[in-house]
């Protein structure tokens, strides 16, 4: 007998996407989704090599105030993200 499974049974951690374009004022956009029933707090490494940024990135959550991060040797930053239960949040990366 075949067992039917709800996709949410496999949801264990966050999912996300990131887009970058070095030619725009907004160099990047990252969105994170939490499919679980509990709030998630994660530190996520964002690779910014293709964003055109080389030393610093200003990152803001949604329409909040930007925070400046120093890029590491691999052109990445570590971003502490809080994702609401069964929800999402997004970040804008600027120069």
Strand-by-strand arrangement of the 56-61 sheet: 15-20, 26-34, 87-94, 56-61, 67-70
CA 78/CA 87 separation, integer angstroms: 21
pLDDT at 66 over 80: yes
pLDDT of residue 12: 81
List pLDDT tens digits, range 19-41: 999 999 999 999 999 999 999 99
Q: What is the pTM of this model?
A: 0.86
List pLDDT tens digits, range 3-13: 555 555 665 89
């Amino acid at each position: 007998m075949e067992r039917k499974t709800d996709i949410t049974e496999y949801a264990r951690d966050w999912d996300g996407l990131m887009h970058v374009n070095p030619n725009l004022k907004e160099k990047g956009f990252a969105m994170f989704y939490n499919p679980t029933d509990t709030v998630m707090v994660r530190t996520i490494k964002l690779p910014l090599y293709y964003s055109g940024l080389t030393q610093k990135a200003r990152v803001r959550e949604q329409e909040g105030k930007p925070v400046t991060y120093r890029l590491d040797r691999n052109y990445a930053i570590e971003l502490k993200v809080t994702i609401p239960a069964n929800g999402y949040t997004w970040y804008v990366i600027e120069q």
